[in-house]
Structure 1
Amino acid sequence: MLTNIFAAGAPAGAPNFGFWEALQQGGAIAWTVLAILVIMSVGSFYILFTKLFEQQKIINQAKRVRATFWQSNSLREGAAKLDKNSAYRQIVDDGLAAQEQHAKLTDPVEAHDWLHGSLARSEAAINSKLGAGLAFLATVGATSPFVGLFGTVVGIYRALVKIGAAGQAAIGDVAGPVGEALIMTAIGLVVAVPAVLAYNWLQRRNKSIAEDLSAFSNDVLGFLASNGAVRPTLASKSTVAAKPAATAAKPVTGTTTAGQTGGVPTRP
């Protein structure tokens, strides 16, 4: 389709110039550049879709954690409700393993520091796995325009050499080969733009997932450090709806001190 767009403006009586003719004139270099750009494009879309699948899987796991995990009596009971390969279960398992390991340490290390370091390593491992492949997208976005430009330069060079060998040439003899050589630059841009957009989008989603993992890891740390006394409070809809009613039931008599935000009520 792209080649048809480039060839759409050619008049009916023009010489037979086209994308495939340009590749054949460019020789092995033009075909190599095209192959590299195709590999970059296919690799970019493959990473985009696989990373979206991985991210959505962890987002769904976070919803399950908020719904059922903290209603359990213990971390082991809550972990049993999660998928075996869940990222959140990995954090819980690593935290429980660190708690058992701390009892075996001979050096005096505070339990909080040991648990915090273990949970931080678990978080970093998950985030590193999520970020795998994004460097390829960044590389494609940064280099594919220059790869296409290299193909263009080679194509123009070959066209000018042929024109110089032929002696005097009309504008039609020059415009065709040079214009076809510029197609490689356009292909490089077509490959680069989706890669850059995919990289920025995936990075933003990874940042949101990392924030959720960090919050969950902090909750697990508080649970372990307090022997289960500290756990996140899950506000229900009935509780949230009852708060405004309770506030409205307490009338404030008297006047407030002028000039104070939320001033102290005074008796008349």
Structure 2
Amino acid sequence: MEPGLENHFSLARYWEQGDALSHAVAYVLLAMSLVSWYFILAKAYASWRVRRGAPAVEAFWSAPTMGDGVAALEAADPEQVYLPLARQGAAQLAAPGRATLAGEMGHAEQVTRVLRAAIHRSTMRLESGLTLLASIGATAPFVGLLGTVWGIYHALSAVSAGGTVQIDKIAGPVGEALIMTGIGLMVAIPAVLAYNGFNRVNRLTLAELDAFAHDLHAYLTTGDRVRKD
């Protein structure tokens, strides 16, 4: 741009000419972006730790005793996704019969109940934050569009009040208002991509978790044996 020419398309001009609603939309988009990137980075680190600990399931089955298997998972599963199932399995081997509602169930049914509860807790850990990412990805473009529509409305109102229609009086405010739509997309796209990526990692992890629970159930319920670590 040549020196002395005014830039009609700038975020600074949009901010200066905006009202309370325009500023509120910008603050909302900023908050959504910060929250989104916080969860993206936190979930990416947690997912990396989960996938790094997945081979520990094989180490569990290679251990000589249940106690050694649990110890191997404790060392290699920092996110405690697979570990709760092993701990519940060890507790089922060591727990004597108690006068409770659960104690009146058969051994296989008790194992199924505790493993199902452990899978549920692990699933909640894996899926925490995903609903928020999906919500941000779905709503951020519309929040930006609201800022754009409001900015265009003000631009047209100013032209109408002036009584004359000049393209330079319209192009600048309209172009500045379109910035909010672009910002909304910039907030939404990373959230959507991260949500899809984390869902894929979770599907893989939950499939492995279900297989581990099935094998553990078979170990705890097959045959008439008593194991002591």
Aligned to 2:57: 65
Q: Distance in 2 between matches of 1:31 and 1:228?
A: 70
Q: Which amino acid aligns with 2:62?
A: Q
Q: Distance in 1 between matches of 2:100 and 2:166?
A: 88
- Higher RCO structure, 1 or 2 (CA under 8 Å, sep 6+): 2
Q: Distance in 2 between matches of 1:14 and 1:93?
A: 71
DSSP 3-state at the match of 2:54: helix
Deviation at 1:13, TM superposition (A): 6.7
Aligned to 2:197: 201
Aligned to 2:41: 49
Aligned to 1:141: 137
Aligned to 1:225: 221
Q: Which amino acid aligns with 2:84?
A: Q
Does 1:38 pair with 2:30?
A: yes
Q: Distance in 2 between matches of 1:228 and 1:76?
A: 20
DSSP 3-state at the match of 2:98: coil
Conserved in 2, the CA contact under 8 Å of 1:99 and 1:115?
Answer: no
The number of aligned residues is 219
Q: Which runs of 5+ in 1 are unaligned?
A: 1-9, 230-268
Q: Which structure: greater helix fraction?
A: 2
- Cα RMSD (Å): 2.2
Alignment CA distance shift 1:227-1:43 (3 Å): farther
Does 1:178 pair with 2:174?
A: yes
Structure-1-length-normalised TM-score: 0.75
Q: Which runs of 5+ in 2 are unaligned?
A: none
Q: Sequence identity, in percent? A: 36
Q: Which amino acid aligns with 1:64?
A: A
Q: Distance in 1 between matches of 2:188 and 2:92?
A: 44
DSSP 3-state at the match of 1:44: helix
DSSP 3-state at the match of 2:74: coil
Residues 1-268 of structure 1 aligned to structure 2 (within 5 Å): 15-17=6-8, 18-66=10-58, 68-83=59-74, 85=78, 86-101=80-95, 103-105=97-99, 108-226=104-222
Deviation at 1:23, TM superposition (A): 1.4
DSSP 3-state at the match of 1:148: helix
Q: Which amino acid aligns with 1:80?
A: A
